[in-house]
Chains A and B, each alone.
Chain A
């Protein structure tokens, strides 16, 4: 099958891609664009390691075909820090040691950012439910929840 031409916006950059119809958005990001910040865990939408946003909606990039991203606006972990300046969530994940091996971290950061955009002042329970689709096998989650709470407080200005 011939590759298909698609155009998307990724982290505010206009991107033109030739992709195979069987490739997922995750495959396109990692294999065609060399954007390996987005991780593959399960490949079945269970672990959330491949989380990105598409037109502002949090999705698993392993469950989206690359072709479906045509004309959409994608945001990945590579767009989270502004140059050398980390996003508050990234700083708080470091401050709270909310990671160990780091494979789940890009997905958790993207998912947490999407949460705080919808709900700037989530309860602990709301954070835990929102992040239920992101598996971490190292931390036991507690430090992640603390980091998100702390980042949310900072972003609200307290």
Chain B
């Protein structure tokens, strides 16, 4: 195995495009090193993208944030302005692994590892962040929801990687939240996860909403019917019931050691309600 640590995007693209063997992009390494250790992957070349300046920046311009894909969870947790701007995204980031893991793990890696249970992915989807993807054919913009396509699989072409995420400017009276169910409150993998991002008007009526479920399908889902249940309502009890029903109806989980189909389906609805309630509070405050 060869290790390369290019310092520019062009150099990284050249390395990834020019390599005939198996190449793996290394960000925080908290999944990649485990996969190497378990002989799940045997890369000929590791391309460490952490030395590329664009990938390590967190910046805000006129309310719109750009987040480098190789920024660690800890670095985001230590950024009060980003926490205030996107508390729901941070609900997810804060739940990734342990303190040790968050010291290395990145939002870009959490997304591109393509686990259906990745905690930062549903709130990244509901933030409507757009990934800037670079590769041998140049740069393209891809909504976060379209990056992971199934367990361990992404829509990235050979030689492509995510450089950064562009968040839209948030309207006033907006709030987002992410919750997951796990047997243990820390260091566990989501049995179900749910993110809600909503916007209210002056009268407290929901004018916009997006709901995403994790760990109940092969990839994180965007649940259109769940959003419709909230839009046009004051997010009252009736809307919450419709939200839960839509979330449960959209869940297509598997039975595994972490939870049954019946349990996950029901919990999807419960978490959607609870996440919406937190997002609502945040939108009002």
| Chain A residues in the interface with B (C-beta under 8 A) | 1, 4, 21-22, 24, 43-46, 48, 51, 54, 57-60, 62-65, 67-68, 111, 114-115, 129-130, 132-134
Contacts and interface: CB of A to CB of B under 8 A. Distances in A.
Contacts of A54: 103
B80 to A, nearest CB: 14
B187 interface: yes
Contacts of B28: 63
Contact of B3 (A58, A67, A114): A67
B223 interface: no
Interface in B1-31: 1-3, 5, 26, 28-30
Contact of B29 (A58, A63, A130, A133): A63
Contacts of B262: none
B104 to A, nearest CB: 6
Size category, B interface: 20 to 34
Contacts of A58: 99-100, 103
Contact of A111 (B2, B26, B100, B104): B100
A133 B185 CA distance: 12
A24 B36 CA distance: 11
Contact of A64 (B2, B29, B34, B97): B29
Interface string B40-51: 000000101010
B74 interface: yes
B1 A133 contact: no
Contacts of B185: 129
B187 A46 contact: yes
B3 A65 contact: yes
A21 B103 CA distance: 21
A21 B97 contact: no
Given A45-B30, A68-B29, A68-B48, A133 B100 contact: yes
B103 A45 contact: no
B98 interface: yes
Given A1-B2, A68-B48, A133-B97, A59 B186 contact: no
Nearest to A68: B48
B2 A21 contact: yes
A109 to B, nearest CB: 14
B100 A51 contact: yes
Contacts of B74: 57
Nearest to A44: B34
Given A60-B100, A129-B186, 16 more contacts: A4-B3, A45-B34, A45-B97, A57-B72, A57-B104, A58-B103, A59-B100, A59-B103, A63-B28, A63-B30, A68-B48, A129-B185, A130-B99, A133-B97, A133-B98, A133-B186
Given A63-B33, A65-B33, A132 B101 contact: no
B37 interface: yes
B37 A60 contact: no
16 contacts: A44-B34, A44-B37, A57-B72, A59-B100, A59-B103, A60-B104, A63-B29, A63-B101, A64-B33, A64-B104, A65-B3, A65-B29, A65-B46, A68-B29, A111-B100, A132-B99
Nearest to B42: A22
Contacts of A63: 28-30, 33-34, 100-101, 104
A44 B100 CA distance: 12
Given A22-B1, A63-B33, A68-B29, A132 B104 contact: no
Given A1-B2, A48-B98, A111-B100, A43 B37 contact: yes
B235 to A, nearest CB: 30
A10 to B, nearest CB: 18
A96 B78 CA distance: 32
B98 A132 contact: yes
B258 to A, nearest CB: 15
B8 to A, nearest CB: 18
A62 B38 CA distance: 13
- Lowest 10 CB-CB distances: which A-B pairs, in order? A133-B98, A132-B186, A21-B3, A57-B103, A60-B100, A44-B34, A59-B103, A133-B100, A132-B187, A63-B33
